[in-house]
Structure 1
Amino acid sequence: MKIIFNADDFGITDAVSASIVELFKAGTPLKSATVMINLLSDSSAELLKEFLRGDDGGGVSIGLHFNLTCSKPVSPAAEIPSIVGPDLNFLKFGELIGRACDKKIDVSHVVREFEAQMNAFYARLGFWPSHIDSHKHVHMLPDFFHAVAGSLEKFETKRIRLTENISAEELFTSQGIAKDKIMKCFAGNIYNKNGIYSYGSNTALAYPDLFFGTYSVGSLSAEVFEKEISGLENFGCVGEYMTHPGACDGNLAGLSSLLAPRESEFRALKDPLLAETLKKLNIEAVSYKALDDRKKSAVK
């Protein structure tokens, strides 16, 4: 088995960005990160580019953390009114989900903002994202997923985070969204196999075979990792483990409710015990490049 430890939220603050680059430089199992391009500072951008220019830069993948819920959009707010509030910031998570479930989001606004973030990523960093995921999993809403997947036909990026071993609505119920509300989005709108809502059979994009971290956000440790993948470690597949390492400061507190757990996950990724656990289980830590733009999952 191969595992992608991906650090979400690069760019949310300079302190978080610096922590992620430190983990890359230290040779930890972290080999991938996704960037919140609407929040990326010039200093965080330069820090990342400097690392990527170095000898170890080719071993990591850097993707786009598509964001529709935190701070200001890349697009002019007047061009995407259904996904911003009166303060010209993105809608809060709960309000966005509510509007999406009630079909009150103009999906063309999602497309416009996604493409704006893609183009901003290239303009700021000089390359296209290796893969796509999203802040609070918003790309996994059916209408939003189809918008993103359709837009990616215009770009070089052909890899995406999916959660084929977890029914897609669980990504939202695990964040406190009522099941009866979120099921208004999912029921009848995406493929249901054995009770699992899934996109894998309907996309040509490459994606990890398994996804971990939904129910352990902020609590990664060698022990938690081993328990979560128990029984799956011998599959010849590529899995992804979502992480949120970082350092807390006053800036972060104004943007995220996930604070001290970021420092805990930073320590867990740097702890030699995690690398030792991977070796014991014969699991290789890789980047999103290991997917090799595969279309079909090895595990059904």
Structure 2
Amino acid sequence: MTEAVPLTPTPDKAATNGLRLIVHADDFGLSERVNEGVADAHLNGILTSTSIMACAPAFDHAVRIAKATPSLDIGVHLTLIEERPLTDPAKVPSLVDETGHFHKHITVFAKRYFRGLIDLDEVRLELDAQIARIKEAGLAISHLDSHQHVHMLPGILSVAQDLGRKHGIAPMRLPRETVSPYMLTSPGGLPRVAQQLVLNHFCNRARKGFGPTTDRFAGFHYGGKLDTAALLTVVSNLPQTGTCELMCHPGEDDPASDKLHWGYAWANELSALKDASVAAKIEAKGIRLISFRDLTA
């Protein structure tokens, strides 16, 4: 791993009064190549925060990187999609398919959820085990979010909030991204906007009494495809004040990945987060980089 100092712009008066931005990587623990990309984006780019998947294959590798990189903020990436549960599959039958893995996609999970086929007691058992594993590994947890934003489904949200209180974790992601004109003209933009509007519906229902979170969210529209040009567009359209989370998915090239069907361009996102033009744009806009730790500081 490259030895470097993470980019932390010195706050000036404009930055203090302007936007405070969390640049956050999902899927820490998914693979060693993703883990190395997250570390690189933090040490040599603008990334400030990540969230770890307790049930992912490269969890132990991610823990080692996290402990070696104390400046990297760590949250829990609650996972009920595609991976294998920490709990015995026989104890969470509503959450798994015939292979003993979680259901393949949020659309499959959501259909089962709204048909009453997901047992919330099983959800609680599994998510509690995920948070406990991360705590037992010795990592300080700053916040909760989830794989494919499954925690925004109403019943799942209640479970996640209860577990946050149990484990002393207050901040949580609210993935509500405002629809901007550039989204309507980008390739494949309209279907992605439609998905965002559905997600925003659940976010709007959850806002009252949600707890510590950012004022705004960005990154869903370009999820998995946030190259330098796209990142510059997103940064140009960020709000002027308040707090915002920018979600991204950096990683190193991995032709052998079993997640190629996602269509993610991990290496392009890593390159974008390290690009000097992006850092210059953030500085020019007076944006201060923070992490979820700072929401309750």
* Native 8 Å contact 2:42 2:48 kept in 1: yes
Q: Give me the whole-angstrom Cα distance separating, in 1, the residues matched to 2:264 and 2:90.
A: 36
Confirm whether residue 249 of structure 1 aligns to residue 260 of structure 2: no
Specify which of 199, 204, 214 is matched with residue 206 of structure 2: 199
Corresponding letter in the other structure for 1:5:
V
The 5 A counterparts of 1:1-300 are 1-26=19-44, 28-39=45-56, 40-52=58-70, 57=71, 60-93=72-105, 94-124=107-137, 126-166=138-178, 174=192, 197-203=204-210, 205-221=211-227, 223-228=229-234, 230=236, 232-235=238-241, 237-252=242-257, 254-259=258-263, 261-292=265-296
SS in 2 for 1:149: helix
SS in 2 for 1:268: helix
Identity %: 25
Question: CA deviation digits over 1:197-256, x for unaligned, max 9?
Answer: 3412122x2111100011111333454344335565322x1100100000232452x135
* Native 8 Å contact 1:3 1:241 kept in 2: yes
* Native 8 Å contact 2:53 2:78 kept in 1: yes
User: After the TM superposition, which of the residue ranges 243-252 and 273-282 deviates more from structure 2?
Assistant: 243-252
Q: Give me the whole-angstrom Cα distance separating, in 2, the residues matched to 1:284 and 1:178.
A: 26
Is the alpha carbon distance of 1:96 and 1:121 closer, same or farther for their aligned partners in structure 2, counting shifts above 3 Å?
same
Corresponding letter in the other structure for 1:36:
M
Corresponding letter in the other structure for 2:117:
K
* Native 8 Å contact 2:26 2:50 kept in 1: yes
Corresponding letter in the other structure for 1:150:
D
Corresponding letter in the other structure for 2:120:
V
**Pairwise CA RMSD:** 2.5
4+ residue segments displaced more than 6 Å: 175-179
* Native 8 Å contact 2:80 2:150 kept in 1: yes
Shift, 1:137, TM fit:
0.7
Which runs of 5 or more structure 2 residues have no equivalent in the other structure? 1-18, 180-190
Shift, 1:166, TM fit:
4.8
* Native 8 Å contact 1:248 1:260 kept in 2: no
**Matched pairs, number:** 265
User: After the TM superposition, which of the residue ranges 86-95 and 258-267 deviates more from structure 2?
Assistant: 258-267
Q: Give me the whole-angstrom Cα distance separating, in 2, the residues matched to 1:178 and 1:162.
A: 12
SS in 2 for 1:147: helix
Q: Give me the whole-angstrom Cα distance separating, in 2, the residues matched to 1:250 and 1:97.
A: 30
Corresponding letter in the other structure for 1:290:
D
Could you say which residue in structure 2 is the equivalent of 1:298? none
Q: Give me the whole-angstrom Cα distance separating, in 2, the residues matched to 1:144 and 1:101.
A: 12
